[in-house]
């Protein structure tokens, strides 16, 4: 059997209705679209949100609240468990990027306390959780907030 010889199972594919092919088909002349009007023309279709001229839902409902996103800070997070696996002693954004732990060395990075540190490391990042900072300093490491 070859790809070119594949055919659907008999009876599984139905022939499409041939509209506008004479009165004997039952779909001649207007092609099942009815008489006159917008929907009898080609290129007409109803948008899913159109409500027949009624005031649309998105205009009936009140607008509430606001977004304060312009002042929010989004951090790339790295856990201590990931830092433990690195062999480097001095860890900064560039080292984290090279090892694939963050997407960009230029965007803010936050170190979280998930995992343990058993060796001395010097970490530079934009922010640290209190528990992560405590664990790093407990292992005689240093924390540098950029």
CATH number at residue 134: 3.100.10.10
The predicted structure's pLDDT at residue 91: 95
DSSP state of 56: P
The dihedral built from the CA positions of residue 28, 34, 40 and 42, taken in this order, carries a sign that is negative
Assigned domain for 45 exists: no
pLDDT at 61 over 90: yes
The predicted structure's pLDDT at residue 138: 93
Mean pLDDT, range 118-123, rounded to an integer = 93
Assigned domain for 47 exists: no
Residue-number span of the structural domain to which 106 is assigned: 71-145
Assigned domain for 19 exists: no
Assigned domain for 20 exists: no
- DSSP labels, 8-41: PPTTSSPPPP-TTS-GGGSS-TTTTS-SSSGGGS
CA 74 to CA 38: how far, in whole Å?
A: 49
Assigned domain for 123 exists: yes
Mean pLDDT, range 2-29, rounded to an integer = 93
Q: Count of domains in the chain?
A: 1
Q: What is the mean pLDDT of the chain?
A: 93
């Amino acid at each position: 059997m070859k790809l070119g010889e594949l055919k659907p199972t008999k009876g599984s594919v139905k022939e499409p209705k041939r509209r506008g092919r004479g009165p004997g088909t039952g779909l001649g002349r207007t092609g099942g679209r009815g008489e006159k009007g917008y929907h009898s023309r080609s290129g007409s279709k109803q948008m899913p949100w159109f409500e027949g001229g009624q005031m649309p839902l998105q205009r009936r409902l009140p607008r509430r609240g606001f977004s304060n996103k312009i002042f929010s800070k989004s951090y790339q997070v790295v856990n201590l468990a990931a830092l433990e696996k690195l062999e480097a002693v001095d860890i900064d954004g560039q080292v984290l990027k090279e090892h694939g732990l963050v997407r960009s060395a230029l965007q803010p990075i936050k170190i979280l306390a998930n995992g343990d540190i058993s060796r001395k490391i010097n970490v530079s990042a934009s922010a640290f959780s209190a528990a992560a900072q405590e664990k790093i300093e407990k292992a005689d490491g240093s924390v540098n907030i950029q």
